[in-house]
């Protein structure tokens, strides 16, 4: 009997199929506290990320969430489904910030398997992850698109 879930965390190379899409659940609502902590930890002190008066006069009119926080959050949301068994993240080939993210936005993400190829003892899987924020009860706006390669173990035969 399995009670700790380790065998179900992530995927082996054989579990990936080109065209598969994994919806990462649950979503995540960005809080002011975690955003401030990320800014402090990464030493990003640009006032558009922390000063309401400055941000009000800037392009978006309010505090903008740091793009690398959005990136890190979305990658983290995908770990259980995509890289939970990964040997390594080999590369992030593309990161596109499609739209701004603000404190209080709720993000959801999904990943599509684009390609895969075997190596001697593992496999390389190329995926593209999309994240979107909730705009209304029926609408979402894409905020991030990223493509990466991961090295994933094969099942032991």
Residue 100: which of 129, 141, 50 has the closest Cα? Answer: 141
pLDDT at 5: 57
Query: Stretch 131-142: mean pLDDT, rounded?
Result: 95
CATH architecture under which domain 15-153 falls: Roll (3.10)
Say whether pLDDT at 58 is over 60: yes
| pLDDT at res. 4 | 62
pLDDT category at 68 given cuts 50, 70, 90 is very high
Residue 144 DSSP SS3: strand
pLDDT single digits (tens) 23-55: 999 999 999 999 999 999 999 999 999 999 999
Mean pLDDT of 114-121: 93
pLDDT value at position 8? Answer: 75
- Structure confidence at residue 9 (pLDDT): 86
Rounded distance between C-alpha atoms, residue 12 and residue 150, angstroms: 11
Give me the residue spans of the domains in the chain.
Answer: 15-153
Report residue 72's pLDDT band, with 50, 70 and 90 as the boundaries.
Answer: very high
């Amino acid at each position: 009997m399995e009670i700790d879930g380790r065998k179900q965390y992530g995927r082996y190379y054989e579990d990936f199929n080109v065209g598969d899409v994994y919806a990462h659940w649950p979503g995540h609502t960005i809080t002011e506290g975690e955003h401030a902590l990320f800014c402090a930890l990464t030493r990003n002190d640009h006032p558009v990320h922390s000063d309401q008066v400055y941000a009000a006069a800037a392009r978006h009119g309010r505090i903008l969430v740091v793009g690398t926080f959005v990136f890190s959050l979305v990658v983290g949301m995908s770990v259980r489904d995509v890289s939970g068994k990964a040997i390594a993240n080999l590369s992030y080939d593309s990161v596109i910030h499609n739209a701004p993210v603000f404190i209080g936005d709720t993000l959801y993400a999904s990943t599509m398997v684009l390609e895969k190829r075997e190596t001697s003892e593992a496999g390389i899987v190329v995926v593209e992850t999309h994240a979107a924020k909730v705009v209304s009860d029926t609408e979402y706006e894409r905020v991030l698109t990223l493509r990466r390669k991961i090295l994933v173990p094969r099942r032991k035969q």
